Amino acid sequence: MTGFILAALMAFPQVVCAQIQGQAPAGGFDKEAYIETAEEKRLISLSLKEALLLALEKNSEIKIARIDPKIKEEDVRKSNAEFEPTFAMDFLLQDNTVKSSSLLMGAGVSNTRYIDWNAGVSGKLVTGTEYALEFLNTRTSSNSSFQSVNPSYESEPRLSLSQPLLRGAGIGINTAGIVIAKNNQKQSRENFITSVINVISDVKKAYYSYLYYSAQYKISKASLSRAIELLKANTLRYKKGLVSSVDLLETEASLMMRQKDLISSEFGMRRAEDELKYRTNLVDDPKAWNASLELTDKPRPSMSDANLIQNLQLAFENRPDYEAKKIELMSKDVQIKVAKNALFPTVDLVGSFGLNGLGGQYTKALETVGPDYKDWTVGITLSLPWGGAEKAEYNQAILFKAQSLLELKRLEQSIVLEVRDRVRAVDLSIRQVRASSLALEKENKNYLAQKERYVSGQVSTHDMLDYQEKLAQAESDYIRSLIDYVIAHIALDKSVGLTLERNQIILEA
């Protein structure tokens, strides 16, 4: 089967957006269209590749799983946004009118008006350093004689820094949210791959299951034809007095049983057909839901053995659920590191540096800004919490990792047992194919030989019916063994995580 690509489902985001915005997506269930096509007789040829494409394009589970990595991608963006700078500006007008507290102020009622306009950029670095680069401006006018420059303008460019020394310090601590968000995105991707693998495996099983029931139906028809042929022969022989009425009655009874088996086989075939339509989403198409399917791919088993050690290695290298669990453990380590850092007291080194300017006009204030008029601070702030909540969170983080380690160990054990069981199933199915093939060959030769003996009167009707039954059973056993072998390989591919590769499916990002 040639390779093909599961594309990014280009039309799917528009459908999702339409649903979010309250709009009905294109299409929908049209019951009238289903009713109109209920009596139509249509035949659809379907290859395995086409079945897989139908499932991948329309499967709702895949569509749902595909959204989650996109959601997690936005979480990564949100985490990165913590280190994006923020621009801020403000304008504030303040008027203060009070009764003067001193005659020296030159007025009985003191009125002072402040106008502030400021702008700046602030943010946080991955080291935990918080910074603010500001440009501060104030205009003050007052009727007080104490204010010699009236109005006065003040301007100050200022840089402020705060660097954690213990709690919250370090690149690893401050980027923990980004690391965890990226890990969650990777986990989501692995979960999406798991969903695709499950869908592919289910479709292939349904495809080959329908092949089996179709073959079983043909075997039942052939068995019925042999019974009809025998009944015709016995009817002629009865008229000639060569067989008794009991022989004729036994042949007729066997014919009725074969008809009953044919009906049962048809019922099983139709149920398997409906299951395949469900897995491939053909049930969503009013023109295809009631059509008959003709499968073009037949099982061609290569009879290749499965090596247990090799498949165990492949499973631990390729299984997406195992990779997702390992990624989860990496996030647990980051969470422990963050929780441990939260036990430290907050000790921050803080400082600021600014240049002042003052003047009766705004331009004069800007001109006086320089190194002669400095404004700086430096110091340390200390905050020491009791630590009860932080200690509990740290203990929880350790317990969560211990829990995940046990889950990983359990998953590893499950993988070993599952792969061993799948390898064993492949090996047993190979032996079953060989045995049933030989048995069919022998039964077919025996039936032909006994048929000749029956014509010459050397075999009874009862024995002939028994030989027919054995031949039909041998045919059924053989086709069952072929399908079991194919399904065993489907299950093995799934258990080692190589379903996509073996079916030449590429998932686009």
Contact 53, 4 (CB under 8 A): yes
| Residue 121: count of CB within 10 angstroms of its CB | 13
What is the structure's pLDDT at 123? 95
Whether residue 216 is contained in a domain is answered as: yes
Each residue of 449-458: b (16+ CB within 10 Å) or e? ebbeebeeee
Whether residue 80 is contained in a domain is answered as: no
Same domain for 271 and 190: yes
CA–CA separation, 138 and 140 (whole Å) = 6
CA–CA separation, 68 and 195 (whole Å) = 12
Whether residue 343 is contained in a domain is answered as: no
Same domain for 315 and 455: yes
Same domain for 317 and 199: yes
Same domain for 163 and 182: no
CATH number at residue 472: 1.20.1600.10
What is the structure's pLDDT at 368? 85
CA–CA separation, 183 and 259 (whole Å) = 60
Whether residue 2 is contained in a domain is answered as: no
Write out residues in the chain with pLDDT < 70, as ranges.
1-30, 36-38, 100-108, 145-147, 387, 509
Same domain for 235 and 303: yes
Whether residue 18 is contained in a domain is answered as: no
Same domain for 363 and 278: no
Phi-psi category of residue 170: left, alpha or beta, with phi > 0 → left and psi -120 to 50 → alpha: left
Same domain for 266 and 378: no
Domain with 459 in it? 36-59+178-331+396-498
Phi-psi category of residue 84: left, alpha or beta, with phi > 0 → left and psi -120 to 50 → alpha: beta
Q: What is the pTM of this model?
A: 0.81
Name the domain count of the chain: 2
Same domain for 417 and 323: yes
Same domain for 203 and 278: yes
> How do strand 505-507 and strand 4-6 relate by DSSP bridges?
parallel
Same domain for 94 and 210: no
CA–CA separation, 421 and 93 (whole Å) = 79
Whether residue 326 is contained in a domain is answered as: yes
CA–CA separation, 371 and 358 (whole Å) = 13
Is residue 229 within a helix (H) or strand (E), and if so which, with residue range? Answer: helix 176-239
Same domain for 197 and 160: no
Paired tokens of 469: 């039954």
Whether residue 11 is contained in a domain is answered as: no
Whether residue 74 is contained in a domain is answered as: no
Residue 82 CA, distance from chain mean position: 28
Same domain for 423 and 451: yes
What is the structure's pLDDT at 9? 37
